[in-house]
Structure 1
Amino acid sequence: MYKILTLNNISVAGLDRLPRDNYEVASEVAHPDAILLRSYKMHDMEIPKTVQAIGRAGAGVNNIPVDKMTARGISVFNAPGANANAVKELVVAGMLLAARNISQSWKFATGLEGDDAVISKNVESGKKNFVGFELPGRTMGVIGLGAIGVKVANVCRALGHECYRLRSHHHGTERLEAGGRCGAGAECRRSALQGGLCHLPCAA
């Protein structure tokens, strides 16, 4: 029976991968064999001598003292790309919010007062301020084709964008759907981009 110490709330979908017949998983465990965490800062934590592995449910490991763990022979694992789809959806939501002035029009609509006739009149006179624009035909640049950038680039193509994808290497380009261009920085600048998305690590 392996003992797993959790330092943050971990998704049940993830914990279900650890059969209860073989693993004891809890937020309070004596002499754990491994540690699971998300954002908990471990730098000032006293790591039990029994720990053999640390797993982070996330991309980065800046909250884990990796060098110290390496010196002790403790393996550190992360999960790059695990949240890529969620981030892609938020990026697309942000694009639509901006293109259609949804936040501004929502604020306008919720501030309307009066009877139906007054509200209808104010809507007709005010809606021209929130027209926005359609996405098809726009030229979009996507910088960084990692787990997130590839998904965003594919969605941009599906929305009808002329899409320029900038990458420094070919890793990830095999997951790009047909269409669009992978170019160098100068090519992207010449293309008169109408929008740009950067998906780069903090160290880039």
Structure 2
Amino acid sequence: MREVLVRVAASGVAPWDALIRQGKSKVSPQPPLTLGSDFAGVVEAVGPGVSHFNSGDEVYGVTNPQFVGANAEYAIASASMIAPKPLRLSSLEAASLPVVAVTAWQMLFEHARPEVGQTVLILGAAGNVGAFAVQFAANAGFHVVAVVGTNDVEYARSLGATDVIDYRTSDFADVVRSVDVVIDTVGGDTRERAVTVLKPGGILVTVVSTDFVPARSDI
């Protein structure tokens, strides 16, 4: 594996860290280990076969496919899982991006694959993955319906949502119908109700469960 040694400037803490710590991750080694996957920092050294990074480069990304090792002064990262840090972002900002942004991107463009003009309903649109999904979807030309709490209505609009539903005052299942895609970051009963608003042939992508089976056979 082509790797680089990075002096860590910032690293993230995420829900999956708790699963890894508890030994419940399907991709990570069993504890003891060093937690942390998302990070930003400066390349200290490059390993054999690495030609697109040099010592002194500012980078950000994920350490490795096991999602461990970033919460340290130095981390070894797979060269294929990092990128140059955007100049406009601080290290703290950059370290908050990788897994959640990639998750939102994959849900939309690798799994759901909506077309321009289609309606995308995003559940939990003010959360970390949901907020990225709103921005990606709006930028791609989709009709974005964001479901958020009262305090996040204006925030969702600022991200580019076409329509915003406050779940504290309205049930989205009473407001929208025949949506093309549902992006679910909430799960439970909320996801079950989302199934009812999908058009025939619609697509629901969830990040909450790997064993969800919808009650409809036409989606």
TM-score, with structure 2 as normaliser: 0.39
In our comparison, the structure showing a higher alpha carbon Rg is 1
TM-score, with structure 1 as normaliser: 0.41
Query: More strand by proportion, 1 or 2?
Result: 2
Query: More helix by proportion, 1 or 2?
Result: 1
